A and B are shown apart, each in its own frame.
Chain A
Amino acid sequence: MTARSLVSIVDDDESIRESLPDLVRQFGFAARAFPSAEAFLASGFVTETRCLILDIAMPGMSGPDLQRELANRPQIIPIVFITASGDRAIRPRLLAQGAVECLFKPFSDAALLAALNAALAMR
């Protein structure tokens, strides 16, 4: 088996950054967490990232901002949005803009795994 696919996680919430990488690794992927979109862009892991788990609402650059930014690049990174907001109306909008999935916190491990598999299957 080749190197495991890198799943990058961008969320300003510490609970998520602490817990999600371990679960993602349990799924069999590599995982890295970043506290902001800016930190992710500056990290040097962008090209290596096969899937992005992205929080929507963050100080500074938001999740959709990062989505737009990445859309300008040749490399396509499938995005699974996660949000603590209860506003269900944003999901169809984000999917229409190319997101693989939009999960509302708290979400189940099965839902996340399904979304990650869908994202990685796109490649």
Chain B
Amino acid sequence: MEPPVESLADEVTRLREALRESERGSRLLLDSIPGLVALLAPDGQLQFVNRQILEYTGRTLDELKHWGTSDTVHSEDLPHVIQVFTRSIGSGSPYEIVQRLRRADGVYRWFQNNGFPLRDTSDRIVRWCVLLIDIDERKRAEDAIRASERQFRLLVETIPALVWRGTPEGELDYLNRRAVEYLGHTAESLTGGRWLELVHPDHRETTVQRWLQAATTGSSYADEYRLRRADGEYRWIRSVGEPLHDTDGRIANWYGLVIDIEDRKRAEAESRTAEEALNRARSELAHVARVTTVGALTASIAHEVNQPLSGILTNASTCLRMLAANPPDIEGARETARRTMRDGNRASDVITRLRALFTKKEFTLEPLDLNEVTREVVVLSLSELQRNRIVLESEFADDLPLITGDRIQLQQVMLNLLRNASDAMVGVRDRPRRLLLRTEREEGDGVRLTVRDAGVGVDPQSMNKLFDAFYTTKPDGMGIGLSVSRSIIERHHGRLWAEPNDGGPGATFSFWIPRQAERLDAVAAPSAS
């Protein structure tokens, strides 16, 4: 039995209704999903978009159908989207693209675009379903994290230091690029404690000890040692590390820096060398100044040696003559021979004194009798004083305590003071050129030496400047004698000062030294001129 035509038409209508109903249901469903959904024909032709797509893009279905040639997809993403999409449609396999999609207001937001085919019972593709999920915020957060990570990595890689990370056990597990370049090794090639082989053999033991100490106690680590660079040169480095603790308080990682301090060390060493050179130069200068004095004292030396030599020669001549006489004067000859020996000893004493005075020696401390020390200087200065027609008067106290000091340096000071006094009186013609040299015991158990001249005196305003280096009132002076003298006296914990004479022309220079100056400054001492 054939069904009636009307009923067939009714049936079609009913089915269409049902289908429409179903589509409405589907549309209702798709419009209600919190996401952007599109349905495509098997060939990729856009057939349906849900309300959210229309609202998001602000475009109609017809407009959206031309997404491949419009600005719906961000122009930077479009080629990639088209490529993946086309390939997927062709092959029938699902795709996933992350891309930007234009919002109605023109802003592009990041979407995750998933497309997958819908198949019928015979496995034929009947439609494609496309799901677009707004991942803009997540993407931006991820990008920010990635950028931040990149920043940090860049920082770590380019920081002008060697960065390392270690495991809680103290094993090296990361080196930044600079470290790799510097060492010529990667973290991997230095595991198993092989990094120690880069440490200079002399430093290896202490380096291990310090690192193990830090690693076992979890305290901050810092050490300086010499490390072999990629080119084989051992260079001084400073290594510092800090442990990062996890929430349980256990060490999660060690983070550290290695800084090349070779240049600094060298600069320090050079600066030390320069300082030593300066000190040497200073003492050389003082030595030169002393040699200048020696030059001035050459006459004294000749004088001192020639006197006893002259006596020796004269006595010997006399002795020979007495022996040659008829009858020989034996007793006279004996006496002259004795005098010859005495003069020989005098000459020898002079040489001994000179040697003690002019041998270049380091600062040597010994118990000293100021009177004795002063007398030796007087002997050496005598001829110069005589040449300048100086009348030397000395008053030596006989109750002086011994002092501790450097004989030669103190004599340098005395020579300098005597010479200054002598120079100050060269122009004096209207009065005796008196030079008073006095030693005294001072209260507080010190000794004092005073050199008082009757010379041109010192302008009270210049009193303090006298002791400045390179200050001089002499036309041919260098102005270092008093400055060096004062530093010598100060090294003996004493004091050197000048004052105008009260009631008379001239000036008085004095120094005072405490009885016990056991500990003198260790700095190399300059000597006076």
Report if A26 contacts B (CB, 8 A).
Answer: yes
The distance in angstroms between the C-alpha atoms of A23 and B322, with both chains bound, is: 9
Report if A86 contacts B (CB, 8 A).
Answer: yes
The distance in angstroms between the C-alpha atoms of A84 and B311, with both chains bound, is: 11
The distance in angstroms between the C-alpha atoms of A48 and B136, with both chains bound, is: 135
B299 near A22: Cβ-Cβ < 8 Å: no
B339 near A57: Cβ-Cβ < 8 Å: no
A15 near B303: Cβ-Cβ < 8 Å: no
User: Which of A39-47, A69-77, A94-102, A104-112 participates in binding chain B?
Assistant: A104-112
Contact of A84 (CB < 8 Å), options: B310, B321, B332, B346: B310
**What per-residue 1/0 map shows which CB atoms of B276-310 lie under 8 Å from chain A?**
00000000000000000000001100111011111
Q: Which 8 A-B pairs give the minimum distances between C-beta atoms? A: A15-B311, A109-B317, A105-B310, A84-B306, A106-B310, A19-B314, A84-B303, A26-B321
Closest CB of chain B to A35's CB: distance in Å? 13
State how many residues of chain B have any CB contact under 8 Å with chain A. Answer: 35
Report if B118 contacts A (CB, 8 A).
Answer: no
Q: A16-B311, A106-B310, A106-B313 are in contact. Are A86 and B387 (CB under 8 A)?
A: no
Closest CB of chain B to A64's CB: distance in Å? 11
A105 near B321: Cβ-Cβ < 8 Å: no
Contact of A26 (CB < 8 Å), options: B303, B304, B318: B318
A108 near B311: Cβ-Cβ < 8 Å: no
16 cross-chain CB contacts under 8 A: A13-B311, A15-B343, A15-B346, A16-B314, A18-B339, A22-B318, A23-B321, A26-B317, A59-B386, A84-B303, A84-B306, A85-B383, A86-B298, A105-B306, A106-B313, A109-B317
Closest CB of chain A to B233's CB: distance in Å? 61
Q: A22-B318, A86-B302 are in contact. Are A62 and B386 (CB under 8 A)?
A: yes
Contact of A86 (CB < 8 Å), options: B299, B313, B322, B332: B299
Residues of A within 8 A of B412 (CB): none
Residues of B within 8 A of A120 (CB): none
Report if B203 contacts A (CB, 8 A).
Answer: no
Known contacts A16-B314, A62-B386, A84-B307, then 4 further A-B pairs from the complex at CB < 8 Å, ordered by chain A residue: A22-B336, A26-B318, A26-B321, A86-B299
Q: Which residue, of A15, A18, A59, A109, has the highest number of chain B Cβ atoms within 10 A?
A: A15
Residues of B within 8 A of A112 (CB): 314
Q: Which residue, of B312, B317, B322, B383, has the highest number of chain A Cβ atoms within 10 A?
A: B317
Contact of A15 (CB < 8 Å), options: B302, B310, B318, B391: B310
A19 near B336: Cβ-Cβ < 8 Å: yes
B299 near A105: Cβ-Cβ < 8 Å: no
B389 near A22: Cβ-Cβ < 8 Å: no
Q: A106-B312, A106-B313, A109-B317 are in contact. Are A19 and B339 (CB under 8 A)?
A: yes
The distance in angstroms between the C-alpha atoms of A24 and B370, with both chains bound, is: 41
A85 near B311: Cβ-Cβ < 8 Å: no
**What per-residue 1/0 map shows which CB atoms of A19-31 lie under 8 Å from chain B?**
1101100100000
Closest CB of chain B to A88's CB: distance in Å? 11
A19 near B387: Cβ-Cβ < 8 Å: no
B386 near A58: Cβ-Cβ < 8 Å: yes
Q: Identify the closest chain A residue to B393 (Cβ).
A: A59
Q: Identify the closest chain A residue to B322 (Cβ).
A: A26
Q: Which residue, of A82, A85, A106, has the highest number of chain B Cβ atoms within 10 A?
A: A106
A106 near B306: Cβ-Cβ < 8 Å: yes
Q: A16-B314, A58-B386, A62-B386 are in contact. Are A105 and B339 (CB under 8 A)?
A: no
Residues of A within 8 A of B309 (CB): 105-106
Q: Which residue, of A19, A22, A82, A109, has the highest number of chain B Cβ atoms within 10 A?
A: A19
Report if B411 contacts A (CB, 8 A).
Answer: no
Residues of B within 8 A of A20 (CB): 314
Report if B50 contacts A (CB, 8 A).
Answer: no
**What per-residue 1/0 map shows which CB atoms of B318-350 lie under 8 Å from chain A?**
100110000000001001100100110010000
Q: Identify the closest chain B residue to A26 (Cβ).
A: B321
A107 near B310: Cβ-Cβ < 8 Å: yes
Report if B180 contacts A (CB, 8 A).
Answer: no
Q: Which of B381-407 contact A (CB under 8 A)?
A: 382-383, 385-387, 389-392
Q: Identify the closest chain A residue to B384 (Cβ).
A: A57
The distance in angstroms between the C-alpha atoms of A105 and B343, with both chains bound, is: 13
Residues of A within 8 A of B346 (CB): 15
Report if B487 contacts A (CB, 8 A).
Answer: no
